[in-house]
Amino acid sequence: MALADEFEISPQAFNQSGPKDLAEIIAALDSGVKTTQEYLGGVSDSAAVGNWRLTANGKQIVAMPRVAMIRAFMLNHWYHHRGQLSVYLRLLEVPVPTIYGPSADENPFAA
């Protein structure tokens, strides 16, 4: 989404296919992380503060600096899902790992 100056959402074109296996999920994650690192490592200041638009059926939904879109749409969305995952782990009685420091499931006195 951040690579272009405008992103057109089209419910008709949305076709979400599920992964075939765990290897496909890991490969997609690795590819996405690599693409993101390359983009963020090379984006210019002018591109980062340049205008970015979200449109639907050719109508503008929102416009903001690209850096604000990356923060709001990408990073905040990631944090949100990490929070959801920790709730699911807790409900399944799986120990919650460190997120922002030790969790209540970790023994601070263990060696």
Q: For residues 2 and 42, what is the distance between their CA atoms, to the nearest angstrom?
A: 13
Q: In what order do the strands lie in the sheet with 6-9?
A: 6-9, 51-56, 59-65
Residue 15 inside a domain? The answer is no
pLDDT band at 102 (very low <50, low <70, confident <90, very high): confident
Domain total in the chain: 1
pLDDT band at 5 (very low <50, low <70, confident <90, very high): very high
Domain limits at 32?
6-10+23-91
Residue 48 inside a domain? The answer is yes
The secondary structure element, H or E, covering residue 59 is strand 59-65
Residue 111 inside a domain? The answer is no
For residues 53 and 6, the answer to whether their CB atoms sit within 8 Å is yes
Residue 37 inside a domain? The answer is yes
Residue 75 inside a domain? The answer is yes
Residue 66 inside a domain? The answer is yes
Residue 16 inside a domain? The answer is no
User: What is the pTM assigned to this prediction?
Assistant: 0.64
Which whole number is the average pLDDT over 6-16? Answer: 81
pLDDT of 1 over the 70 cut = yes
pLDDT of 103 over the 70 cut = yes
